Structure 1
């Protein structure tokens, strides 16, 4: 299907000064430029437009020439693929020359720059991602994307198996986009192709898998999509371990019940973490950052001890050691593995502890212990740890006499009370 579709001319994002400046610069003198992909898709269904990509008939060299003439900075971020990043009013816009496959062999294709909007659309992955819009708001649809948007249906363009063979990451992208925009069961032909091609996931870089997976787990219908992936045997291939789908589903329900925004790492922990070794495995398998690995490791470290009936003093000690974010991670993971429902008041009260109580700084410092005769070096570090442990065990006292007594005991050779 092709031709003009409903206009987006009243959209604030499309009328943005910086965007209109770039479109006007490229959309003249025999060349054409349009917004493509996700921005048009989201605008058509009332979702926020966060990134705006532009396609044009102009060759990369012409894009750069026009940008320089208009005093815009042009960065050749992917010029071998026809992509130039233009900066207007400090905002980056990716501008890509239309492309078409001139020869396909196996998983590879020789690509040439083109001028045919339909052929460019047919190279994209899903019908809903192949929409384009001119600067006056006219929407173009060449592959049935608008009908699929109306039906909340995700379909590959053309043969699903052929599209997946071009890039196996499209398996993950299929489930991610279905979770974000789809309704009902996944497209049968696409699902079958994803299952048949699942071994191709092993060929993908860990960074690309991580990127798609972290986007998938926070999507609107992530639990349903992950359930289908689990039934199809795809999750074990990706995670390298057993997925805890009921824990994941409950984490999403708890976030909604307490007003928390979906958190990708916390949800990944609910899905894939049971013991600390799981965090190490995901760190290697997904090339997570050190901070992400640290969060998952802390979530796994004894979550089963932090039930809804833990004593207030124990909860305060946990908050002191983990900080507010780590405390929420641990408490919520424990909650997902319990029988308590998402609106359980006891669990919600426990989770809200950081709003009622902020951990104080330990009042016993190195100088206090040195004044009591402890020399610098390993002995001082050990004494500081004894002092802090005693202070935590006593539930964070603040009166000077108690603190001084703790410092005296920590500086001595005997262990502190309640050690």
Structure 2
């Protein structure tokens, strides 16, 4: 039986580009509704994101109507019934209702249809199976309204079958629960994820990476990760030891600083203790080069940042640069644990806000003038002088710099018998 509820306070149903698309597709005996995540988020009073639209109209008819109305139309997936309409710069993914003819994983054979219930039953979770028509009526064919009220993430129909259709739904179960659920994960869904875990091996690393990074920034990320660890799923994904407690400490540190959640920082907290971990994750998850470099830097001797005084912290900041300094320091803080001295760590993280590293004032010409020939030796002398300058806490006085240059050249000359 279909449950109904009226969606109040939805201005996007009363005016704007979405109303234009719905009006276009609701003519001539056809029907269109907003479906999926936008309906879920509207009911939960959360930001909407993209508005996806389902329609009884066949893809060719959607294209015909859009062109007649001078609406930009992009055939993004005609074979799957999907067309993207762009109205006032806003894209809307419009998909014709579908029903399964044969089911064999993600490559299920489907046919276009006109049955809203059968279309809803193809979706993953009940809270994603809702639709809303242009009059604001929410249509529920799968029990999603009850689960919205309970903040419960539950598979539509048989969980094992839903998972077998696409094993990425295992990760999506935990990600959607972390974002929208409350309390422990639905037991039937949780047990089905554990039973189906072997199917994860057949997923592309890129899809796993995308889903995992989304999960890590969700409101309930730590609880979801703990549940995954309890079911043996984390070790399968990471191929090594994971640290849910360090993730919890990283989340607490971000909250202390009022920083937005950083998915790569959280990934590092969960899976990186040394640089070898970063390389393993980069391979298993097909991380971008920037993501790998960030994790690799975080894992490089992060323990040397513990217990720093300000002079040492300034030297680390100078050597690492602001971004790498903060990232590595955040991992050191998280690995120090949730009971760590937050005030001390916070002061260290905020060092770049109160101190800017000066540029090393001695130049190659200063050493050439002292008899050092251009070449590899000159670079070595400059590096030695910079080390002394850092050890003396960045002096800028001419007389001090002169002594540093003279003594460095003298040392180099003794060592190389110049």
TM-score normalised according to structure 2 size: 0.92
- Cα RMSD over matched residues? 2.2
Q: Cα–Cα, structure 1 residues 103 and 323, in superposed 2: closer, same or farther, change >3 Å?
A: same
Per the alignment, residue 304 of structure 1 pairs with 303
1:100-249 equivalences under 5 Å are 100-105=99-104, 108-249=107-248
The equivalent residue for 1:26 is 25
Structure 1's 138 and 294: CA in aligned 2 closer, same or farther, altered over 3 A?
Answer: same
Residue aligned with 1:50, SS: coil
Q: Distance in 2 between matches of 1:71 and 1:410?
A: 74
Aligned equivalents of 1:350, 1:176: Cα separation in 2:
32
> Residues of 2 paired with 1:34 and 1:79: CA distance?
19
Q: 2:325 maps to which residue?
A: 327
Q: 1:15 to 1:406 in 2, by over 3 A?
A: farther
Alpha carbons of structure 1 residues 243 and 13: separation in structure 2 relative to 1, 3 Å: farther
Q: Tell me the SS of whatever aligns to 2:76.
A: strand
Structure 2: runs of 5 or more not aligned: none
For residues 83 and 382 of structure 1, do their structure 2 counterparts lie closer, same or farther at Cα, with a shift above 3 Å needed? farther
Query: The residue matched to 1:95 in structure 2 has which SS?
Result: strand
Displacement after TM superposition at 1:126 (Å) = 0.1
Compute the displacement of 1:413 (Å).
Answer: 6.3
Work out whether residues 12 and 19 of structure 2, in 8 Å CA contact, stay in contact via their aligned partners in 1. Answer: no
| Structure 1 residue matching 2:172: 3-state secondary structure | helix
Quote how far apart the aligned CAs of 1:405 are.
Answer: 4.4
Alpha-carbon distance between aligned partners in 1 of 2:303 and 2:368, rounded to the nearest angstrom:
39
Q: Equivalent of 2:355, from 336, 354, 357?
A: 357
Deviates more, 1:116-125 or 1:84-93: 84-93
Deviation at 1:211, TM superposition (A): 0.3
Q: Provide the secondary structure at the position in 2 that maps to 1:414.
A: helix
Could you say which residue in structure 2 is the equivalent of 1:270? Answer: 269
Alignment-derived partner of residue 386 in structure 2: 388
TM-aligned CA deviation for residue 402 of structure 1: 3.1
Within the alignment, does 1:285 sit opposite 2:292 as a pair?
A: no
Q: Which moved more, 1:179-188 or 1:337-346?
A: 337-346
Deviation, structure 1 residue 376: 5.3
**Any idea what SS the aligned residue of 1:179 has?**
helix
C-alpha distance in 1 between matches for 2:413 and 2:147: 69
Q: What is the deviation of 1:69?
A: 1.9
Shift of 1:391: 2.9
CA shift digits 1:301-328 (9 cap, x unpaired)? 1111111x21211111222222333222
d(CA) in 1 for partners of 2:106, 2:24: 36
Shift of 1:181: 1.1
1:253–1:342 contact (8 Å) kept in structure 2 = no
Deviation digits for residues 39-70 of structure 1, max 9, x if unmatched? 11011011111221111122222222222222
Q: Distance in 2 between matches of 1:250 and 1:415?
A: 50
Alpha-carbon distance, 1:230 to partner: 0.6
Query: Would you say 1:344 and 2:342 are equivalent positions?
Result: yes
CA contact (8 A) 1:13 1:49 kept: no
For 1:337, what is the secondary structure of its paired residue? helix
Q: What is the 5 A alignment of 1:391-410?
A: 391-407=389-405
Are residues 390 and 110 of structure 1, via their aligned partners in 2, closer, same or farther at CA, if it must alter by over 3 Å? same
Q: Which SS does the other structure have where 1:55 is aligned?
A: strand
Q: Pick closer, same or farther for the CA change 1:415–1:98 going to 2, 3 Å.
A: farther
**1:285, distance to aligned residue in structure 2 (A):** 0.4
Change (3 A) 1:409 1:81: farther
CA deviation vs aligned residue, 1:145-164 (integer Å, no higher than 9, x gap): 01001011110000000000
Local SS of the residue matching 2:412:
coil
CA drift of 1:372 comes to 5.5
| Cα drift, residue 191 of structure 1 | 0.9
Q: Matches of 2:231 and 2:112 in 1, distance apart?
A: 38
Q: Is the 1:32–1:57 Cα contact (8 Å) retained in structure 2?
A: yes
Counterpart of 1:6 in structure 2 is 6
Does structure 2 conserve the Cα–Cα contact (< 8 Å) formed by 1:280 and 1:293?
yes
CA distance in structure 2 between the aligned counterparts of 1:366 and 1:29, rounded to whole angstroms? 79
For residues 354-402 of structure 1, give each alpha carbon's deviation from its aligned partner in whole angstroms, at most 9, with x where no partner exists.
2211223333345555566656554454444334333333222223333
Task: Using the TM superposition, give the Cα deviation of residue 103 of structure 1 relative to its aligned residue in structure 2, in angstroms.
Answer: 2.1
- Residue matched to 1:315: 313
CA distance in 2, matches of 1:391, 1:60: 69
Specify whether residues 415 and 305 from structure 1 end up closer, same or farther in structure 2 by C-alpha distance, changes over 3 A only. farther
Structure 1 distance, partners of 2:75, 2:363, is 54
For the structure 1 residues 110 and 323, does the alpha-carbon distance in structure 2 shift closer, same or farther, using more than 3 Å as the test? same
Q: Which runs of 5+ in 1 are unaligned?
A: none
Decide whether aligned partners of structure 1 residues 259 and 342 sit closer, same or farther in structure 2, where only a CA change above 3 A counts: farther
1:214–1:265 contact (8 Å) kept in structure 2: yes
Q: Is the 8 A contact 1:34 1:54 kept in 2?
A: yes
